[in-house]
Each structure stands twice: as C-alpha cells, then as structure tokens.
Amino acid sequence: MTQSAVNGTSSINSVEDEFRFSTDLSLEDIRSDQHKFCEERNWLQHHPPRNVLLAMVGEVGELSELFQWRGEVTRGLPEFTSPEKVRVGEELSDVLIYLVDLAEQCHIDLPTAVRDKMKKNALKYPVQRVSGKTDKYSSYPESKQETSDVGDIQREREEADGSE
C-alpha cells in the first residue's frame, strides 16, 4: 500500500502513486524496432525529419479527437468505454513512435536529452518557490538559470546569423 493510501490523503495522489508503467520496453527498443519496420518496407527514404514531425503532429490530432467536446475528463478515464481507452493507447503509441523516430532522424539521444531537460526543469522550478503554482518560470524574479540559457541561445543565434 502506498504512503498516501495509508494516510488517506487526496485521491489524486493515491491514483498517481498507484499507477506505474511496465518496464520491459526502452526508448532504444522503440527506436530500433521502428527503424527495422521502416527499413523492411523501404520507407526510410520517406522518413526525413520534417515528414516524421508532420506525421507525429497528425497523430497528436487523432489523439485530441478522442478528447474533444467531452469537457474535462477524470484521471484514469472512467468516462471512456474500453474500446475508446484502447484507441487512446494506440494514438499515444503512434505519437511516441513518431517522436522517437524523429529524435533518431535528428540524431538526438532522447534518453539523455530527457534526463538533462528534467534536471533543468527542476532547477527552473524549485519546489519551495513554486509549490502549487503554475506560473511560468520567467515570472519568478530570481529564476536566473533559465533566463541565462535563453540569453545564451539568443546570442548563439545572433552569432550564427552574423557568420552567414
């Protein structure tokens, strides 16, 4: 039993604590299976970054269609029928498959990028400062970490533009 279930804390925490993914599939597994799937069909030629990005956005649209006009829905999707919930899983999978494919086409090591980004997020949004609030990091006066990153990116862009 989870700690929040023991304490009888909010149902939101209980649901989140109890829900877990299975751990038998890595991002690298998805990348290599999708690569093989495309290679076997002679489709790699059709999967440069922009095409894959557009395919992914299309799948985000299909996922959104399953939620549109329902109003807000409850965690765990109890309002959905079983077939509808299966569809949600399929569309989420399409999005993930294309996302991983896109990362491969861009030569981005997605697990490393995700780890690094989550570390950055934790620095930008320190628990004590933002707990319970959803303001953008830039609205916090002392949030220097990300503002300097944004400044760095801007500087790099300007230097790149100047060298053309």
Binding site for ligand DCP (CB under 6 A): 38, 43, 46, 62, 94, 97
HSE-CB at 99 with a 13 A cutoff on CA atoms is 13
Q: What are phi and psi of 126, to 5 degrees?
A: -60, 140
**CA dist., res. 160 & res. 148, Å (int):** 18
Burial of 103 (0-12, 13-18, 19+ CB in 10 A): buried
Cβ of residue 104: shortest distance to ligand DCP, in angstroms? 12
For ligand DCP, the closer of residues 97 and 103 by Cβ is: 97
Cβ of residue 62: shortest distance to ligand DCP, in angstroms? 5
Cβ of residue 1: shortest distance to ligand DCP, in angstroms? 37
Cβ of residue 98: shortest distance to ligand DCP, in angstroms? 6
Residue 58 CA to its chain's centroid (Å): 16
Residue 105 CA to its chain's centroid (Å): 17
For ligand DCP, the closer of residues 46 and 115 by Cβ is: 46
Contact 89, 63 (CB under 8 A): no
Cβ of residue 59: shortest distance to ligand DCP, in angstroms? 6
For ligand DCP, the closer of residues 99 and 124 by Cβ is: 99
Identity of the residue numbered 18: E
For ligand DCP, the closer of residues 10 and 93 by Cβ is: 93
For ligand DCP, the closer of residues 35 and 120 by Cβ is: 35
